[in-house]
Structures are given as structure tokens and as C-alpha cells.
Structure 1
Amino acid sequence: MAKKKDAEKASHGNENNKSAKNEGNEDDEPNFSDPEGYTDPISDEELLGDLLKQKPHETDGVESVIVVDGVPQVGPDRLEKLSVVINKIFSKFGPIVSEYYPKNENGHTKGYIFLEYGKPQHALEAVKLANNYKIDKQHTFVVNLFTDFKKYEDIPGDWEPPQPQPYKELGNLHYYLLDPDAYDQFCIINAANSTVQIWLNSAPEPTIVEERQRWSETYVSWSPLGSYLATFHKKGVALWGGPGFGQIMRFSHNGVQFIDFSPCEKYLVTFSPQADDLPGDQKKLIIWDIRTGLEKRTFVADGLNVWPIFRWSHDDQYFARIGTDMLSVYGTPSFGLLDKKSIKIPGIRDFSWSPTDNVLAYWVAEDKDVPARVTLLEIPSRNETRAKNLFNVADCKMHWQKSGDYLCVNVNRYSKIIRKEKNELKYSGMYYNFEIFHMREKQIPVDSVEIKEPIHAFAWEPVGSKFAIIHGDGPNISVSFYGVKTGHTPSLLKRFEKKACNSLFWSPAGQFIVLAGLRNLGGTLEFVDTNDFVVMHSTEHFAASDVEWDPTGRYVVTAVSYWKTKVDTGYWIWSFQGKILKRASVETFCKLLWRPRPKSLLPAKQVGEIKKNLKKYSAQFESKDRLRMSKASKELIEKRAKLLEDFVEYKAKRVEQWKSQKGRRLELRNNIDTDELDSDTKNVEEEVVEFFIKEEITVLE
């Protein structure tokens, strides 16, 4: 069979050859065409690779063309003026080769134009920098590359859902709360080599947990609940957490200088003031999702901005920013404008969120015969729950009590009118009011406290209903404490006269307060118990620039920052009663930040019972402290004994070595014995050196 097939193939080939010869005879030209259905095994890329690289593409010549939408629609008489404006804006990205203004049948422009640059790079730069450019109040440019039409046409019609990402375990971000002794952590920033240290405030001495050089290039910040440590870098922000402080997330934002966490740590706001000066398409204000690291929305930050630009509601559901005669409230997770429109409030100056409810407080300045006004606004309903008119107002500052029970509006007022010029009133003299809003009472009553003297500081008691005010002129500085009760006007509880202080620092647990004279007052400190208003201790930390309470209210840190002065930098740790526990002198010390703790899960009733029976629990903690101190003393004695033992052993080895080298020494010294061998005890000379280690003074009462 195989032979038969081969014979048939050969005869068929002969017939083809004969027909080819006959055709050659007829046309005198060879036929090189491929038979029907023939496939060439060699591709064009293999044969013509160099030439195919130069093959023209459909997009050639249009990569340098941009489409500008949002252009004003004008008639023929204004076209030349429009062209001049367009060229002035877009020629700074590169020379414009040609321009085309589409027109309708009436000769009016259609609102979009085509511009061609000499190079594609110029067109790309125009798209990045001119997009969303406002030419006037009604027109904003939308700029795209002409090639984007093709790109969007090729988008497939069938949508494929993204593949689910594997779950990434972040570890226990609140592991430090499980410490059996409830020790808190604090972070120290040192300017030397940009060193950042994490310490555990253990007894009797703090112990270091983590230390890294160049961990951050400028500053660090804890998140509100203490889950993350944020570090700043030229290219963005990094978050660290867990037992080993591993990197949790990175957020790329060149030149970032300011960040702000939302209260529940769901979102992070980053701000780069120099974004306009950096190359490329830089964004000034970005909101990120902390868990996923995704960019949720960007905003334009125009004009003067006070950080934080956005202020968050207590539950992360809303955030708001102030504008010219308007307040813009946004919702999450859509990040869209609430009800798709801003709240128009002519003359708005400032606003603040309640720390426990979705209630906004804002104030509006006076306008001719219209008085200033403080308004409480519910979100998202936008219902005004309370408003208070104020007259002769120069400025207002709003202070919320931590539990949201009270709002204090510090009002600076002009005392009298001296003249009226061109419908404007001229004032003279100042006095001060504190308008107290009782947020939990029916119809939100408002009480007023008036003080004639200048106000230097105001602070609510975090847990309680007292507030403190520093007021007065020159050396006659006073500190007044007021109490607020339901159904009663605020009453003066205590006034301290002639105090050298300018700052108030309440304990996070309430009751205790530090009156501090920082900066030019030399670092004076007074620890006060506000239950009976007893000054527990008066002292001084010279040149102190910072005071920081730990989150439990057990310890206070006073510090001298290298950012404020270059000498005597370091920090001191005090008990809440004003007893010094540790003095740490650290060169180039910059800042100490206590790690925050989340809100306690214990109900208020149970917390009250613990405070009531505190003496019952204190005995076991005191015995534990004594045991810890004795253990520390025992460890110190054992350590010193071990050092002495090691020294004696080392000394014996060196003496034996010295004796074994006796012959070599005699050889080098021409057999002259210089070792003074009167007795074996004089082989080695001993020198006793004494130096001062430390001094402890115990006062026996």
C-alpha cells in the first residue's frame, strides 16, 4: 500500500511539472503565486522586522492633539478675544501648532476646541495641569488627549468583577492593652539621626521597646485610638503597628506635611502645601481608606487654610469644611456632598462638631444691623436645634466638653461704641462672655458667665462638669474654677490669685489639673486637686515647653524640646500628685507622645463603683509595687556581685600571664629584674579608684 501511495504522489508531481512547463511555454513567464489555501510558515515580523517598526499607526499625528471642553460659547465678534485667552493659557505648556474651533450653523463656537502641540509631551503636560482649570465662575476646562477617544472605545462591554484579594492578617494592633501591669507606651523623637524610640513606662525604670534611626524624616503621630504610628517621608506617609511595629500601610503623597486621622481610624487625610511646586500631576489634599490603602477622594485646597481643613463627626459618618459663606458637609463612604449641595451661611467664620453626636455648632459674624449668631445644626437633617444672637462681637471660640454635655462659646466683645462712620460702628474696650449651652436639657438653655479681664486659657474638665479659666492683666493673673449643674447657672467654685501660669492641663480622668507657666514664665508647675482645691505640690521645670498627661491620668510629663531651645533638653516624669519619678536629660530631644488608649468598655456605673471602693483595691497594688522595688534591688545586688566575680577572675588570669612572661622580660632587659620581687604579694601594684555614682535622699515624715 505504501509503495502504491508513493507512486501516485510521484505521478501527480510529474503532472504538475508538465503543466508548469506548458504554461511557461505559453506565457514565457514563471508563475510564483502560492496555491490556494497555502500558509507561509515565515511571518512578516521575521522578514521585515526593521521596516515594520517604522510602519505608520492610526494615532500618529494625533498624539499631540488635545480636546478642551467647557470653553465659553461665543459669536464671531468675540472669537478673536477668546482665541487670545486660550493661547495665553495653553501656550505655556509648549508651542501650539494649530487650533480648531468647531462652530454651529450660526457661527457660534460649540464649547469645545482642538489644540495641536509640536510634541506629545507638551500635550500630556497640558492635560495634567490645565484640567479643571477655572477660566471664570461659569466655565471650567475639561482637558483630554485626542487618543483617549480610541482608548475608551476599546473598553470591553462585558464587565469582569475583580478577583477577591486574600485576607491579610495585621496582627493584634492593641496588644499593648493586654499588659498585666497596665503600663503605657510613649514615643520619643530625637533629632540625632532622626531617631524614634518606643518606651514602656514600667516601674521602677522605663524600658525600651523599639528604636530605629531615620524611622521618620520630620515627625511622628499616633492615631486617635493608638492602633497606628504614622511616620513622615518625602514620598508619603507610612503606618506601623503590631508587637514588632511592622509596616501596615503606605500612602504615596509627595511633600506631605500634615495628616489627620478620622476619630474611628477609618480614614486618613494628607495635605501637601508645596504640591504646586512639585513636578507632575500633584494633589494637595487626599483622603485615604486606611484599611485598604485606596485613595477615596482628592480636593482642591485654595486660599488660606487652617489645619485640619476637614473636621470629622465622632462616628466617621460625616466630615465638613468651611468655605466663603458656605459650609460643605460630605458623607462616607460615598465621599459625596451631602444632599448634593453646600449649606449657604453668609458670614460664617468657624464651626465645630460635637464629640458624641452628629451636631454642628457654627458662628456667624455681625453684618451692619444683623447681630452675630451661634447656631446648633443637626446632621443630616440640617435642622437648627438652637440659635443664640450676640452683639458687639469681635471673635468667638467654641469649646466642647468631652462627653458632649456642654458647649462653651468664648465671646470677645466690644464694650462700647465710640462713633459711627459710613454705616460702620467703631468700638472701644473689650470684655468677655462665656455662653454655656446645656446640650442634654430640654430646649438647650444657655447660661452666661461674664469676665471683664483678658482671657489667657480655657479648658473643660474631661470627665466632669467643671471648667477652668486663666484671666487677668500683668502680674495679677488669676485662675477661676466654675461648676455647671443641670437646671442651674454656672457657679464660681474657687479662684486662685496671682498665679504665674498661662496654660491649663486637665488629667484625662478629671479631678486633677496642672497649672503651668510655659515659655516666658520659666516652667512653673502647680498640681491641684479640684475636689477640695488643694495645691498638692508647687515646683518648677526650668524652660519647660510641653506638658503631656498619660492616657490614664496617672503620670505627667514635662519636657524641654530641642525645637524650642538648644540647651537642657529632656523630659521629666511626675506622678499625678506632683512627685518627681524620673529625670531624663536627652541631647536633641524633640517630643514625647503618649500612646492613646481606646475608650473603656466598662459602663459608667461600674467605673463609679471602682472609684468608690478604690481603697479596697489599692492594697494589692501597693504590695505589688513594694515587691517590684525589692525585686529591682535584689537584681541590682546580684548584678554587682556578678561584675565583681568576673573582675576577680579576669585579674587572676592577667596575673598568671604576667608571671609566665617573666623570662621574656628579663631577656629584653639584659637580665635586670625590675619587678621588685621582695615578696609574692608585690608582683602586682593595685590602685583603688573611687567615684560618685548617685545620691538618694529619703525624707522621713
Structure 2
Amino acid sequence: MDKYQDNMNASPNENGYDEEPDFSDPEDYVDEISDEELLSDLLMKKPKEADGIDSVIVVDNVPKVGSERLEKLQNVIRKIFSKYGRIITEHYPKDDDDKTKGYIFLEYTSPANAVDAVSHLNGYKLDKQHSFAVNLFTDFDKYANISDDWEPPKKQPYKDHGNLKWWLLDADCNDQYSVIYDGGERTAIFWNTSAGPASIEERSRWTETYVRWSPKGTYLATFHQRGIALWAGEQFKQIMRFNHPGVQLIDFSPCERYMVTFSPLVDTKDDPQAIIIWDIYTGSKKRGFHCENTAHWPIFKWSHDGKYFARMAQDGLSVYETPSFGLLEKKSIKIQGIRDFSWSPSDYFIAYWTPEDNDIPARVTLLEIPMRTEVRVKNLYNVAECKMHWQNKGDFLCVKVDRVTKSKKVQSCNFEIFRMREKQVPVEQVEIKDSILAFAWEPAGGCKFAVLHGESPRICVSFYNVTKGKVELLKMMDKKQANHIFWSPSGQFVILAGLRNMSGSLEFIDTSDFTIMNAAEHFMATDVEWDPTGRYVISGVSWWGHKVDNAFWVWNFQGKILHKQAMERFCQLLWRPRPPTLLSAKQIKDIKKNMKNYSKQFELKDRMSQSKASKELVEKRRQMMEDFMNYRAQLEKEYEACKPVRLELRGGVDTDEFDSHIDDWDEEVIEFFVKEEIIELSD
């Protein structure tokens, strides 16, 4: 530094100019700063020495074609592989018959393009017979020079998550439910016991927004700023995390193998990140998608077993298959003007509808996947809107059709009932001229459905039954304060509820004879949730809907209130779902037939449970009485110890001894007029 300072302070030369400073390093100077520290950003762009083969990929399982079809094959290959970079060389080896050998060589402009193509297109399904096997050309040398000395892979430690179905083994068959309260600050899991909620797990800030159970109840999903966490097992340990910043919505496949997440924060043109489908078992990302419209969630709808999933595209329907997550047959189904679609809950059928277009009527179409065969088409006229409702066994499809007049006003509503199990899928029609508030099929494979129609104060509920050859009206009830229909998961029993903007009225109805078992009210109720068995139901006032009287009440299926649980800023209650029963239809039928034999042991268990509860109550009361007597004895001792002080303050007179000083007290008698009764005596 001294040398540099001297050079800078040098005097001007004879020409009047300053001498040029000498910036050379001293002979003994050692530079301790590396180029990576100073120029790390530039060194990343430094050209690397390569022999040219790093940009070459080998594509196997390519169709073997002759010269007449080669140009068409080349165009298809270019279209697929040019998405990942510019291809500068193509080579299609041929055999003696002038046919391609089934593998090709492609060269990109850079090795990065080649790596990208391998990662995205290896396993790409071109058609039913050909799926590409894509590798880097350099990998052949690497695999050819593998050492003959084999080293066994290191054994990875097995992470035991325990029994993920443990809650199904409860001896009393109690169900579980999750509760978010304290304005979202606390989350708890409870058993629903006869004595009331029994806490299993409770944590602070377990989720940042809300929670969601998987369809079969195996996993509990919690939301966080960085993504989703899944919890399971007896201790609710975290078994998987999915990194998706800003995630807002999720959905599970019915098989619980895959999870779909949506975030509006991260998305790029080349790497879709708005919607991601994850493998729950491994935590790996299976595929990402762009999202143009989040008005309807879920965007992807799954088939009943998770084998297919679909989404609406512009004038089309895109159906994907698992586990490849590729587009079915590599092309979308062209459907001009498609408005909505829905999967059958039991078969590979898709129902969709399209609106009217000039002289073309509106249509409801049943499509069979993967053949894309139209099973049934129903033409409709003067249609404003359609809503599709599947019966949970897939035996019937009800399409609610809102019809309009020429002035574009909604005039009436039709229900088109498709009989899916009958030949050529016949359609029955039910017309209701009132406005429709709610519609719901009876679960558990029932053939009944309920409709709320009309306007307040004359809201009616109508129950229909789909029999062979006709749809008959079973019962109509009027003057109902309701805007929601909640069927028991086991069928037969239904609740008509007036939620949110109504008073919170609840009517419990047995549809076997249409008796009203109970009519009650949970004022300002916002939610009604049946448990998976159909034995219990809760009504709740959520803090997200109202800021006062936040609580949930537990009822039995007959409408008898069992528990009232007030919780500070109660937000959400969700029952833990149960997987489908393993019993066959014949076994269930036999159980119902011999119910009296089974009911005896359950009645005995109920009496023992009640007896146990009585014993616990008696023991609790006995302990309270014992504590009271001990406390009383303690106070009596203190009272006797203070007697000299009392005598001194009262002039030696013990006023507590009433019998010895009775003359010192004046007796005062007070009379009260009760009533006057006049009795007439006859002569």
C-alpha cells in the first residue's frame, strides 16, 4: 500500500503531466482472493469444453416405419422434442429393408436442452404400443464402464408410521372429529363418546387456515404458508410435507394416492406451478398445470377409483390417466361450448352438458371412458342452466334443468332422471314450477330424493321415489323454514335446516313413514355435519360466520340433544371419514336379519356403560361430600379458637347460646294474607 500511495503522490514530469502510476504487485505479494469469489456470476456462464456428444439424446421404442411414412414420423418427433430446445441434427438408422430400426439420435444446441428433454419425455406414451425410452448419449459410456465389483446398496432405515387405521379399532366404535377454535389459533381432535367429547390431541397453531381429512380418513391435512403437511397415526405425527408456497386449496383422489394443491403465487410459463399433483406415498411431484380460472374448485375431477382425472379445456374436455399423468390418447375430447361435467361415482362414465347454439339444442351427454363412446344423448330446449346430481351408487343421474321463457326469465324446473342400469338408459322427467332451493339423493344406494322448492314463507319439501317405470311423489310437506337438505349417510333419516340467513331451525324426519321425529332450533347455526355412521349429527355456529354464541351441539339421529359444547371462537368441525365397509351386501343383509341377536349384547354393553357412569357419578359425589365435611371440620376448629375474642367483644355474653339467654330475645309474629275463599252453605 505504501508503494501505491507513493505512486499516487508522485510529482508532475517535465511535460507537465502526472506520471502514470505503477499498479503492479510486489514480488512477494500473494493473492488470497479466488476468481470464484470475485467473478462467480460470470464464471457460471463460462463456456465449458465438450466433445459435442453431451447434447445428443437417444430415443428408443420409436415406431418402425418405411420410407413412405418416415416424413410423417419425423414431423411428430420434431413437434414433441422441439418443445425443449432447437434440434440441429436428426438421425434415423435403417435396416436392410429400408425401415427404421426403432431408435433415433437427436442433437440439441446445448447439453441443458438434452437433459431437459430426457427428464420430461422419458416414458412419454406416443400411442398404445409405443412409449419412449429417452437417454443421454453419454449415459451409454457411463453404463458400459460400470465396475464389475458390485457393492450392495446401503439399507435404508424403515420409518414406521404405526397403524394408520388405528381409530377403526376402537372397542366402542366411537368416531373422531377435528375442531378449530380460538379464532383458528388452536386445533383439537376429539372422540365422540356417550359422556361427551374426549380429547385425543390438541395443538396451538397446528394450521394457519383450516384442516381437511382425506376421503377415507387416513390423513389430516394442515395448511401453512410454505405448503401442506399430512398427519396420521395414533400420535398424529407428520408423515409428509409438500412444498407449495401460498397454497390455498387442496383436493384428494378417491383412492388417497394423490393430492392436488393450488397456489396463486408461483407459476411460470415454462414450468407450471399453480396446480400441482403429488404422490402422497413418496411426496414427489407428479405433474404441474397452469390455472386460468379458479372460480370452480376442484378444477380436476376424479373417477371413482382415481384411475382417471379430467378438467374442462376451451371447447373440450381433457382426460388424464394415472400413473403416467399423460393425456388420454394424447388428445383432448372436442366438445363445443361445454359448461360442466361430472364423473359417475361407480363407473367410468362422464356426464356433461352443452348450451343451445342457434338452432342446435342444449344437450346432456353420457360418455364412456376410455373408449369415448356416447352412451346416451338427451336434447333439451329453452335451457338456462343445468346441474348434475349422481346417486351415490351410480344407478341414477338427475339433471336439474332450469328453463326460461322468451323474455329470458326462469319459468320452471325439470328433473331429468337417467336410469343408468337399464338398457339404452331411459330418461324420466319430473316438472316443478317453483324455484328450487336444494336437491339431494338418499345415500346408501337409496332410490329416494328430496327437493326444497318455493319461496318463504311457503317453502315446501317433496320426496320422490324412483321405481321401475316411473318416478312417484311420496310426500309433500309445506311451510318449512329450511334452505338445506342433509341426508343421513345410512339413508332413511333426513334433516331440513334453515342455516345462516334463516333462524337455525332443524327438523328431523323419518322418511320410512314421513314422521317428524323432532323440530328444534340452534339459533344462528351455520353448519350441519352428519357423522360417518349416521348415528350422530352436529349443528354449529362458526366464528367465521357469526362473532357471538360460537358453539357446536351434538344430536342423535332422532333429534335428541346430547351435548352442548361452547368453545371460544369456535370455527370448524369435521367428522373423520370412514373407509367403505369390507362386508359384502349379503353379509350386511344377514346382519340386519339377525339384528335382535346382536342387539342383546349391545344393550348389555350400554347398561354396563351406564352403570359405570353411575358408579363414577356416585364416587364423584362421595368425594365431594368428604371434601365438604373436612372443610366444615376445619372451620369449626377455627370458630372454637376464636370464641374468647368474641366473648370479649360482646361484653362476656355468648350470643351464640340461644337456649341460655332466650329471655333476652323478643318474638315477632308476622302474618301473610294468602287468599280468601267464600263457601256458600245450602239450607
By the TM > 0.5 criterion, same fold?
Answer: yes
**Which residue number corresponds to residue 288 of structure 1?**
278
3-state SS of paired residue (1:442): coil
* 2:448 equivalent to 1:466: yes
Q: Identity across aligned pairs (percent)?
A: 54
How far apart, in 2, do the equivalents of 1:57 and 1:429 lie? 71
**Which residue number corresponds to residue 365 of structure 1?**
355
**Which residue number corresponds to residue 460 of structure 2?**
478
Match of 2:585 among 591, 598, 604: 604
How far apart, in 1, do the equivalents of 2:594 and 2:515 lie? 22
**Which residue number corresponds to residue 178 of structure 1?**
169
Distance 1:148 1:619, change over 3 A: same
How far apart, in 2, do the equivalents of 1:64 and 1:451 lie? 75
Distance 1:409 1:553, change over 3 A: same
How far apart, in 2, do the equivalents of 1:325 and 1:150 lie? 34
How far apart, in 1, do the equivalents of 2:558 and 2:329 lie? 52
- Listed as ranges, the matches of 1:380-529 within 5 Å are 380-414=370-404, 416-417=405-406, 427-463=408-444, 464-486=446-468, 488-529=469-510
Does structure 2 retain, via aligned residues, the 8 Å contact 1:59–1:147? no
How far apart, in 2, do the equivalents of 1:369 and 1:460 lie? 34
- Listed as ranges, the matches of 1:627-646 within 5 Å are 627-646=608-627
How far apart, in 2, do the equivalents of 1:642 and 1:51 lie? 79
Distance 1:238 1:676, change over 3 A: farther
Does structure 2 retain, via aligned residues, the 8 Å contact 1:62–1:146? no
Code of the aligned partner of 1:475: P
How far apart, in 2, do the equivalents of 1:468 and 1:227 lie? 31
Does structure 1 retain, via aligned residues, the 8 Å contact 2:184–2:208? no
Q: Which ranges in structure 2 are unaligned for 5 or more consecutive residues?
A: 1-28, 48-84, 88-107, 117-135, 147-151, 658-683
Distance 1:477 1:676, change over 3 A: farther
3-state SS of paired residue (1:361): strand
Distance 1:386 1:164, change over 3 A: farther
Deviation at 1:235, TM superposition (A): 0.7
How far apart, in 2, do the equivalents of 1:320 and 1:438 lie? 24
**Which residue number corresponds to residue 142 of structure 2?**
158
Deviation at 1:59, TM superposition (A): 9.0
Does structure 1 retain, via aligned residues, the 8 Å contact 2:315–2:336? yes
* 2:318 equivalent to 1:328: yes
Distance 1:499 1:57, change over 3 A: closer
Code of the aligned partner of 1:534: T
3-state SS of paired residue (1:589): coil
Post-superposition CA distance 1:646-680 (Å, at most 9, x none): 555577679889999x9xxx9xx9xx98899999x
Does structure 1 retain, via aligned residues, the 8 Å contact 2:272–2:289? no
- Listed as ranges, the matches of 1:199-238 within 5 Å are 199-238=190-229
Post-superposition CA distance 1:94-150 (Å, at most 9, x none): xxxxxxxxxxxxxxxxx979xxxxxxxxxxxxxxxxxxxxxxxxxxxxxx9989479
**Which residue number corresponds to residue 339 of structure 2?**
349
How far apart, in 2, do the equivalents of 1:595 and 1:429 lie? 40
Does structure 1 retain, via aligned residues, the 8 Å contact 2:184–2:210? no
Choose 146-155 or 468-477, whichever is displaced more. Answer: 146-155
Match of 2:559 among 573, 578, 581: 578
How far apart, in 2, do the equivalents of 1:512 and 1:339 lie? 45
Distance 1:52 1:634, change over 3 A: closer
How far apart, in 2, do the equivalents of 1:675 and 1:163 lie? 93
3-state SS of paired residue (2:399): strand
Match of 1:545 among 508, 515, 526: 526
Does structure 1 retain, via aligned residues, the 8 Å contact 2:184–2:571? no
Does structure 1 retain, via aligned residues, the 8 Å contact 2:190–2:200? yes
How far apart, in 1, do the equivalents of 2:651 and 2:612 lie? 48
**Which residue number corresponds to residue 53 of structure 2?**
none
How far apart, in 2, do the equivalents of 1:323 and 1:150 lie? 30
Distance 1:330 1:675, change over 3 A: farther
Code of the aligned partner of 2:211: V
Deviation at 1:604, TM superposition (A): 1.3
Distance 1:265 1:640, change over 3 A: same
* 2:260 equivalent to 1:269: yes
Match of 1:63 among 45, 51, 69: 45
Code of the aligned partner of 2:142: D
**Which residue number corresponds to residue 131 of structure 2?**
none
Does structure 2 retain, via aligned residues, the 8 Å contact 1:235–1:253? yes
**Which residue number corresponds to residue 108 of structure 1?**
none
Does structure 2 retain, via aligned residues, the 8 Å contact 1:63–1:145? no
How far apart, in 2, do the equivalents of 1:167 and 1:560 lie? 44
How far apart, in 2, do the equivalents of 1:255 and 1:583 lie? 36
How far apart, in 1, do the equivalents of 2:112 and 2:171 lie? 61
Does structure 1 retain, via aligned residues, the 8 Å contact 2:272–2:290? no
Choose 148-157 or 195-204, whichever is displaced more. Answer: 148-157
Q: Which ranges in structure 1 are unaligned for 5 or more consecutive residues?
A: 1-46, 66-110, 114-143, 418-425, 683-701
- The two structures have a TM-score, normalised by structure 2, of 0.73
Does structure 2 retain, via aligned residues, the 8 Å contact 1:573–1:582? yes
- How many residue pairs are counted as aligned between the two chains? 543
Distance 1:589 1:57, change over 3 A: closer
How far apart, in 2, do the equivalents of 1:317 and 1:481 lie? 35
Code of the aligned partner of 1:481: F
Post-superposition CA distance 1:299-347 (Å, at most 9, x none): 0001354100100111111000001101000000000111111111001
Code of the aligned partner of 2:308: Y
Does structure 2 retain, via aligned residues, the 8 Å contact 1:482–1:493? yes
Match of 1:306 among 296, 309, 312: 296
Distance 1:57 1:358, change over 3 A: same
Deviation at 1:607, TM superposition (A): 1.4
3-state SS of paired residue (2:356): coil
Does structure 2 retain, via aligned residues, the 8 Å contact 1:215–1:231? yes
Distance 1:262 1:675, change over 3 A: farther
- The two structures have a TM-score, normalised by structure 1, of 0.71
* 2:225 equivalent to 1:244: no
Q: How much is the aligned-residue C-alpha RMSD, in angstroms?
A: 3.5
3-state SS of paired residue (2:142): coil
Does structure 2 retain, via aligned residues, the 8 Å contact 1:63–1:147? no
Distance 1:565 1:63, change over 3 A: same
3-state SS of paired residue (1:158): helix
Distance 1:56 1:220, change over 3 A: closer
How far apart, in 2, do the equivalents of 1:228 and 1:201 lie? 19
Deviation at 1:497, TM superposition (A): 1.5
**Which residue number corresponds to residue 317 of structure 1?**
307
3-state SS of paired residue (2:305): coil
